[in-house]
Structure 1
Amino acid sequence: MDDIVIVEYDRKWVELFEQEAIYLRSLLGEASILRIEHFGSTAIPGMPAKPIIDMLVEIPSFDRAQQEALPKLVDTGYEYLWRSDRPPGHMMFVKRLPDGKRTHHIHMAIAGHTLWERLYFRNYLCSHPEEATRYAQLKRDLAQKFPGDREAYTNGKSEYVNLITTKAKLDTINS
């Protein structure tokens, strides 16, 4: 199990995202990737985070991704996980360094999947520094409380993330 380690924001995270996006597009082709977004804490300037780049990749269909993307990514060393926690599920790939340390989480989902709502959360925290500060403190507290339990750490953030996501969606609709 990977320990939860929160580090201060690193500007290199944007570059690491961009490099991986270029690599994925070259490996999988433009027809297999409709859009790539940087999300999660590493996408929020100034936000302390686990130093793992979260990427959200829009795919045309799960069938196509399973036929084309899955074998290419697994053959080049990515770990594949099917995530059923957000219906209808999504494909997730973990990229690691040779020492086993995670560097990227690549989530693949079709347009309209609930995972895309995480962009509301990202955008809201980018434009509301007071909420970003609250979230940073929550993350630090949870990492200290659950240093070796990734699931408990994530579950501890869920209520806050859902609350802010809902608020951000309403703000977007009402503006």
Structure 2
Amino acid sequence: MSSIVVVDWSPAWAVQFDEVAADLREALVDVPSAVVEHVGSTSVPGLAAKPILDIDVVVDAADVAAAVTALESVGHVHRGDLGVAGREAFYAPGEPRRNVYVCTAGTTNVRNHLAVRDVLRERDDLRDAYAAVKLALAADPTMDIDTYLAGKSAVLQQVLEVSGEFSDDELAAIHRLNDSSA
């Protein structure tokens, strides 16, 4: 069996996000620019996903350090940028399983997350195409995470092009990042 698990969308994910977001907002009360966003596949109703929430805490550049400190104060373990400029990753303790990132507002990375979410919420055809690719990749018993991520790149590029939010140079940079393991 593949080590990548993709399941049907669950309405529980929205409820779990609301609970986690309330806790994050409380921790970030002294970071005035902080906005907690549910991103990734679990944020799109009807989209099959790995059952792990993706959460972006979007802050002004001047507030990144304060946001990192605030999350560490409530048990999140800072993991650095993991090779993505403008994004600080965290190990989040407890349940539900989630990836939490502090993202600098306006960066290509956070704009990418928000554009993909918003287009997939609006376009059932693209949502369903993306789900089909993810399910097919996850069905391969030899699938690893890098190949899985690279395998989703083409459909994600199409979603980003539809968004109209990115220049050709930005689209090329995102494609290189998403497809770096192929």
Tell me the TM-score normalized by structure 1: 0.80
Kept in 2: contact 1:54–1:106 (CA 8 A): yes
Residue 121 (str. 1) matches residue 116 (str. 2): yes
Question: Equivalent residue for 2:146?
Answer: 151
Question: Equivalent residue for 2:76?
Answer: 78
Counterparts in 2 of 1:33 and 1:5: CA distance versus 1, 3 Å = farther
Q: Cα offset for 1:94?
A: 2.6
Residue 53 (str. 1) matches residue 53 (str. 2): yes
Residue 105 (str. 1) matches residue 99 (str. 2): yes
Question: Equivalent residue for 2:180?
Answer: none
Q: Distance in 2 between matches of 1:146 and 1:118?
A: 28
Counterparts in 2 of 1:84 and 1:114: CA distance versus 1, 3 Å = farther
Q: Distance in 2 between matches of 1:71 and 1:123?
A: 29
Residue 167 (str. 1) matches residue 157 (str. 2): no
Number of aligned positions between the proteins: 164
Residue 34 (str. 1) matches residue 34 (str. 2): yes
Counterparts in 2 of 1:5 and 1:55: CA distance versus 1, 3 Å = same
Question: Equivalent residue for 1:91?
Answer: 88
Kept in 2: contact 1:91–1:107 (CA 8 A): yes
Deviations 1:102-161 (A, max 9, x none): 711112111111122221111111111111111001001111236662222112212321
Question: Equivalent residue for 2:171?
Answer: none
Tell me the TM-score normalized by structure 2: 0.77
Kept in 2: contact 1:13–1:53 (CA 8 A): yes
Q: Cα offset for 1:14?
A: 0.7
Percent of pairs with identical residues: 26
Counterparts in 2 of 1:76 and 1:31: CA distance versus 1, 3 Å = closer
Q: Cα offset for 1:56?
A: 1.3
Identify which range, 25-34 or 46-55, moves more after superposition: 25-34
Question: Equivalent residue for 2:132?
Answer: 137
Question: Equivalent residue for 1:65?
Answer: 64
Deviations 1:65-84 (A, max 9, x none): 33x33344345432322235
Q: Distance in 2 between matches of 1:129 and 1:10?
A: 16
Kept in 1: contact 2:59–2:104 (CA 8 A): yes
Q: Cα offset for 1:15?
A: 1.1
Counterparts in 2 of 1:123 and 1:79: CA distance versus 1, 3 Å = same
Q: Match for 2:104: what amino acid? A: I
Moved over 4 A (4+): none
Q: Distance in 1 between matches of 2:165 and 2:31?
A: 33
Unaligned stretches of 5+ residues in structure 2:
167-182
Kept in 2: contact 1:39–1:54 (CA 8 A): yes
Secondary structure of the 2:9 match is coil
